[in-house]
């Protein structure tokens, strides 16, 4: 059995629950629950603040966890990153009032900066007085305790509503990831979790194409759809006709379908792939 930390709220919660369910894990959270046990997969899930997860995993209290890379960087710990996930993309950006003259990060010198990420900001903007806040950082300027802020930006809508604008390049770019305690990456349940998630993410890049091809065109058709190792080819009841099945990249699927049709193949079907192991 392994113990795995999950975000208890925020933008990472729903997509994390979705991908685990899609990977066959039995995980649910009630209003008061802090943990749940998946007996079928031998995983105990703990719902924790995303910013606390790196400490629990890095210190070996829990075997693995899913959280944002920004939280890991802020804690200054080094759990092993196993899989970069396809959600939770965000940027840590500096912002000032709309009418402020500052244009870049260099213009923030000496200004009081409010942030929930003091370690990252302190390393990127050394010497600035920092005001550490747990949340609602954008209101700090209006309340007079800061001159600028550095906060997580997803769409920028919240900053605009607060009368702020982003300046300079992002101080840090983040997305969600699966982490493990160093040395426990090889545990069977951890490897299974990693493999299932990778398979689900990889499936987003592929589709399955199936079609019928006459013997005279079979070699050309297979060249268009070579598959991973090679396409699956089966003879049909109709003489000199074959059924072909192959995995193809999703971004190339429509072009491949066009090429097969123009070649003379029939019954061309594209289907989604739920999970992949390559």
Q: Tell me the pLDDT tens digit for each residue of 116-131.
A: 999 999 999 998 999 9
Least Cα distance to 262 among 232, 224, 231, 209 occurs for 224
- Confidence (pTM): 0.86
Residue with the two structure tokens 């997860």: 53
Does residue 27 contact residue 36 with C-beta atoms inside 8 Å? yes
Instruction: Kindly state the average pLDDT of the residues 197-206.
Output: 95
Q: CA angle, corner 151, sides to 178 and 162, nearest 5?
A: 135
Which residues of the chain does CATH 3.40.190.10 include?
2-88+175-202, 90-173
125-167: pLDDT as tens digits: 998 999 999 888 999 999 999 999 999 988 778 898 889 999 9
Whether the pLDDT of residue 278 is over 90: the answer is no
pLDDT for residue 194: 97
90-173, what's its fold? D-Maltodextrin-Binding Protein; domain 2 (3.40.190)
Is 95 exposed, middle or buried (CB count within 10 Å of its CB: 0-12, 13-18, 19+)? buried
Does residue 68 contact residue 174 with C-beta atoms inside 8 Å? yes
Overall CATH class of domain 205-272: alpha beta
Give the span between the Cα atoms of 278 and 210, in whole angstroms. 19
Q: How far is CA 159 from the centre of its chain?
A: 24
Q: Give the bridge partners for 36, in sequence order.
A: 45
Give the span between the Cα atoms of 123 and 75, in whole angstroms. 12
Superfamily of domain 2-88+175-202: Periplasmic binding protein-like II (3.40.190.10)
The CA R_g of the chain, rounded to the nearest whole Å, is: 25
The pLDDT confidence band at residue 4, using thresholds 50, 70 and 90, is very high
Does residue 151 contact residue 170 with C-beta atoms inside 8 Å? no
Does residue 178 contact residue 79 with C-beta atoms inside 8 Å? no
Whether the pLDDT of residue 51 is over 90: the answer is yes
Question: Side-chain half-sphere of 29: how many Cα atoms within 13 Å?
Answer: 19
Least Cα distance to 238 among 266, 259, 257, 263 occurs for 266
């Amino acid at each position: 059995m392994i113990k795995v930390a999950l975000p208890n709220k925020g933008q990472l919660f729903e997509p994390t629950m979705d991908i685990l369910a899609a990977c066959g894990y039995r995980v649910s959270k009630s209003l008061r629950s802090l943990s749940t046990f998946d007996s079928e997969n031998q995983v105990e899930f703990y719902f924790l603040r995303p910013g606390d997860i790196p400490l629990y995993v890095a210190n070996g209290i829990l075997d693995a966890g899913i959280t944002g890379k920004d939280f890991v960087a802020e804690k200054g710990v080094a759990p092993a990153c196993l899989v970069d996930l396809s959600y939770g993309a965000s940027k840590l950006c500096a912002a000032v009032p709309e009418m402020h003259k500052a244009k870049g990060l260099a213009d923030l010198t000496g200004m009081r900066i409010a942030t929930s990420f003091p370690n990252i900001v302190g390393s990127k903007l050394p010497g600035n007085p920092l005001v550490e806040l747990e949340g609602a950082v954008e209101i700090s300027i209006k309340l007079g305790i800061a001159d600028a802020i550095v906060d997580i930006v997803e769409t920028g809508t919240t900053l605009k509503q607060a009368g702020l604008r982003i300046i300079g390049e992002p101080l840090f770019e983040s997305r969600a990831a699966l982490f493990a305690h160093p040395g426990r990456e090889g545990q069977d349940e951890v490897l299974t979790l990693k493999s299932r998630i990778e398979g689900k993410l990889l499936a987003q890049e592929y589709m399955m194409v199936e079609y019928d091809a006459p013997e005279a065109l079979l070699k050309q058709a297979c060249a268009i759809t070579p598959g991973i190792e090679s396409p699956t080819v089966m003879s049909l009841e109709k003489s000199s006709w074959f059924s072909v099945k192959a995995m193809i990249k999703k971004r190339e699927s429509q072009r491949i379908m066009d090429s097969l049709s123009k070649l003379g193949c029939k019954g061309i079907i594209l289907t989604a792939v739920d999970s992949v192991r390559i």
